[in-house]
Structure 1
Amino acid sequence: MAGTDEAQPGAAGDAEGYAGLRVERAEELARRHGWASVRVLAPGAMMTMDHREGRLNLAVRDGVVERSWEG
């Protein structure tokens, strides 16, 4: 998947709006739009299951965000 540098509709505040972006661009946009923490996760990565308000999780494969969610 090539990914894009263009934000998806609603990406600024919508935790699920970062899919398809290159990870670098997604991190930049997330921080610019007020996410307190951005966690990048590789496929199959171990992670804590605690929910943290203000944390954006990015599931990334080959440098492209496949899924994003708050917590």
Structure 2
Amino acid sequence: MPTLVNTPAALGNAAQAARKRLGLTQPQLALAAGVGVRFVVELEAGKPTVRLEKVLSVLHALGGQVLVEGL
């Protein structure tokens, strides 16, 4: 089901909810996505300056993707 994400906090909440639904810990997700645990922590906390490339890796590891509408 699509999730509306329009703020860094909303993205963090969506990522955290997906991780928990999959039964993954932050270290497990970090390993699966090829990023550091600190990055996952910061993403889930809604840090506004996270790197897009790493965000996409985490979303892919969670089975998600980015869809841009209305352009």
Question: Is the helix fraction higher in 1 or 2?
Answer: 2
